[in-house]
Amino acid sequence: MSSTIVVSPSVKSNLGRGKPRASKSVSRSNKAGFQFPVGRIARFLKKGLYAQRVGSGSPVYLSAVLEYLAAEVLELAGHAARDNKKNRIVPRHIQLAVRNDEELSKLLGSVTIANGGVLPNIHQNLLPKKTGKGKGEIGSASLDLSSSPPGRLVGSVASPRSVGTSPAPPLDSLSRPWIRATWPWWHYSSDPRASSTIAVITTYPWG
């Protein structure tokens, strides 16, 4: 007596080929959307014996914090390299980026960056003192009309000029009074005992 066994196509395809292919594995970093390795950080946490038990969420949180700090330092160091007209980030740029940021400097206050150098710092007493006016600016003369005799006015000028005289007065000013003469003769005398140059304005009563 003979019997016939009928095998369905789905069962026939799995005969002699072992287990069916499993779906492609997805890492925990890809699931969380991180660039830092979550699995490696989890292994280091377990290997370091920081606690008896390590939860599954702790390496994910730690990866997020480390990735954020790395991105922040990299961005500031890139700005420092660009300011120095460099295309490559060196430890000096990382040092400038960390020390110029208040929060990062507080976080990494006890950290020494190799070949980072120091921040430039010049004491205030070593800086050049600021002057009042430039060389090209001419100060205004303050005239004293009460104490000066007629025909001579004395005033102080803020900034010194070269010694010289003004040109001759025009004809239309001859008819004006001496106190309103517009073309006086200017004489500058530098007295070593005085702190500023003395301007002597001599006017003549024409007309």
pLDDT digits (tens, 9 = 90+) for 167-184: 555 545 445 444 444 444
Position 154 scores a pLDDT of: 45
Q: Are strands 142-144 and 198-202 parallel, antiparallel or unpaired?
A: unpaired
Report the pLDDT value the prediction gives residue 22, as an integer from 0 to 100: 73
Cα–Cα distance, 113 to 95 (Å, whole number): 7
The pLDDT value recorded for residue 16 is 58
Residues 160 and 188: their CA atoms lie apart, in Å, by 8
- Domains present along the chain, CATH in parentheses: 30-107 (1.10.20.10), 142-163+174-202 (no CATH)
* CA atoms of 53 and 43, how far apart (whole Å): 12
| C-alpha distances in Å from residue 144, one per residue of 113, 135, 164, 198 | 66, 26, 21, 12
Query: Is this prediction's pTM over 0.85?
Result: no
Given a cut of 60, whether residue 191 has pLDDT beyond it is no
Q: Which residue has the higher pLDDT, 154 or 61?
A: 61
Evaluate if residue 145 carries a pLDDT over 90. no
List, for residues 50-105, the tens digit of each pLDDT value: 999 999 999 999 999 999 999 999 999 999 999 999 999 999 999 999 999 999 99
What's the pLDDT band for 161 if we cut at 50, 70, 90? very low
